[in-house]
Chain A
Amino acid sequence: MKKNNRVYGILAVGAYMANFNADLSGYPKTTADNIILGSDKALKYPMKRMWMIQGEPVLYIKSMQIKEDKGGEKLQPRDLNERYSFLFGSLDEKTSSKEVLGKLFSAIDVMNFGATFAEKKQNISITGAVQINQGLNLYKDTEILVQDILSPFRNSNEKSEDKLASSMGTKIVTDEAHYVYSFSVNPANYHDYIGLANGFEGYTQEAYDKFKCAARVATTAFNTNSKSGCENELAVFIELKEESQLFLANLDRYVSAQRDGDHILYDLSKLAQALEPHYDQIQSVEIYCNLATIKVNCGSLPGKVESIY
């Protein structure tokens, strides 16, 4: 079923003794004024992983293959062409762009987040219906902890040949951080492609529902070394009426996160104020949170708070 109306919203991720998004130095990514932030990619990655595990076709994700090499068989990441062929069958110079476009849209990540595809004479750039912004850490008391960890091995370089101890490493985490992202879903981004791609009719309710589900739980479900301890805490979905072209930017401006005893309190009362003049264009507001750890002050927002799971 085609989805026509716009959605804006908030996604918040808590990181406890974890590093949600590290930069090159291993420290949490920061702005010049030292505010910790998480990129859109950091939030999208667990969603793509979740879809992949559910058996959905996901194009833009790292996958490995065995490559015959002079030195024997080696594990190697697929390139874009190989990944495309792995999912959708062969791609050569003669493949029509319409066919490629249709195949691209059949991948759930492309349907939601768009794609840049430049392979075999194709030059396709799709701005995704779902756009996720940078997520700033809104928690004031975040501390960065550097832990020394002991490696089970001696350093293998020549200088360490006579060393009697194994090498050391570090693990860098934040004691507690709360990343707040805002996002938008604009089905109009695909209007240009309707009729152009084989069998493509625009953004669908099914794709949105899969995004919505992943947005609520994917980070919690994802457990790598640095991201275990990161969990989805809050998800707000503001659906506009079908004809509305209202523009709302950076809704995370209106959110605050602070500790309230055992719970984290997300205050949405400013968001409610900001939305109030536009209620005639808003169809529904849904608020989900982890009821065990989170409290939400909804202010005058309509709709009740439900469990994120």
Chain B
Amino acid sequence: MKSIRFTLSGKAACFRQPDVNAQVYFTYNNIHKVALLGLLGAILGLSGYRNYKLYDQKEPDYPEFYQVLSSLYVAIIPNGENGYFTKKIQYFNNSVGYASKEQGGNLQVREQWLEHPSWTIFLAQNNLPDGTWDKLCHSLLHGQCIYIPYLGRNDFPAQIDAVSMVELTPTRASRIDSLFRFDGDLRALDGGGPSQYLFVENAPLALVRKHNFYEFARFIYTNGNIPIGYLPDHLYTDGQRQYYFY
């Protein structure tokens, strides 16, 4: 399977969790597939969540970037220690008076940021039309973009480095070096020795048609072994490590 690999990083990132926003906007620890597709959509110049009424257009099932790119396969490998990135809650004061209906006109925003996040990303064509795939590879390999891709907030531009084409082959080894879906019993994971780590996060998997809510799945990242019966589908290797594509 032909794949394109690159390092995605930045000074900071914030992939907001839509389900907790009462006092603080929290971020997922990792970029998820929907956000990654949005970023690739920006590179290709596809539109995102827009106000269709403004364009006298009917609300489509999905935003354009998702409609076009969701058949792409992605594998995401966090490059932080044990898959974890440092986070800090930043505080903003928005005193312009119209950011909200706060008393006194002062909106206080607390937002959690990932610091120095970095991921190795693999993309594989899967069912993406040839033309779109070739255009995407060309843009990545030559550092071109229509809109500036960013990591969750438009003041955090994404750095894309070390882009190359990689040939992958299917495997079924017991260790997975990328984030992967795991719905089984976490106690079934073993190995990794005294330095075993296990990172677990419920993260967006896909968009729900029409309403565009996130559909969630449990993703884990570990140096432990996964019993054969629990191994997910779509595992590929570049000869060194094994990655989960979804």
Once the chains bind, are A32 and B87 in contact (CB under 8 Å)?
yes
Once the chains bind, are A23 and B149 in contact (CB under 8 Å)?
no
**Interface extent on B, as a size class?**
35 or more
Task: Report if A24 contacts B (CB, 8 A).
Answer: yes
Q: Which residue of B lies closest to A133 (CB)?
A: B155
**A260 CA / B65 CA spacing, docked (Å):** 49
- Contacting residues, chain A, for B90 (C-beta < 8 A): 23, 29
User: Would you give the 0/1 interface string for A27-69, flagging 1 where the beta carbon is closer than 8 Å to chain B?
Assistant: 0010111000001110000000000000000001111000000
- Contacting residues, chain B, for A77 (C-beta < 8 A): 95-97, 105
- Contacting residues, chain A, for B54 (C-beta < 8 A): 97, 101, 124, 196
- Contacting residues, chain B, for A106 (C-beta < 8 A): none
**A307 CA / B10 CA spacing, docked (Å):** 32
**A140 CA / B146 CA spacing, docked (Å):** 36
Interface residues of A in 108-123 (CB under 8 A from B): 119, 123
**A62 CA / B88 CA spacing, docked (Å):** 28
Given contacts A124-B54, A247-B148, contact A133 B157 (CB under 8 A): yes
Task: Report if A80 contacts B (CB, 8 A).
Answer: yes
- Contacting residues, chain B, for A188 (C-beta < 8 A): 45, 146-147
Q: Which residue of A lies closest to B104 (CB)?
A: A77
User: Would you give the 0/1 interface string for A112-142, flagging 1 where the beta carbon is closer than 8 Å to chain B?
Assistant: 0000000100011101100111101000000
User: Would you give the 0/1 interface string for A59-103, flagging 1 where the beta carbon is closer than 8 Å to chain B?
Assistant: 011110000000000001111111100000000000001000100
Once the chains bind, are B146 and A184 in contact (CB under 8 Å)?
no
Task: Report if A262 contacts B (CB, 8 A).
Answer: no
Given contacts A77-B95, A250-B10, contact A245 B115 (CB under 8 A): no
Q: Which residue of B lies closest to A244 (CB)?
A: B144
Q: List 9 A-B contacts (CB under 8 A).
A: A31-B88, A33-B115, A79-B101, A101-B54, A119-B98, A124-B51, A124-B54, A131-B148, A133-B156
Binding site for A on B (CB under 8 A): 10-12, 43, 45, 47, 50-51, 53-55, 86-88, 90-93, 95-99, 101, 105, 113, 115, 139, 143-150, 154-160
Beyond A101-B54, A249-B10, 11 additional contacts (C-beta under 8 Å) are: A33-B86, A33-B115, A39-B155, A80-B96, A124-B54, A128-B154, A131-B150, A186-B148, A196-B54, A247-B148, A249-B160
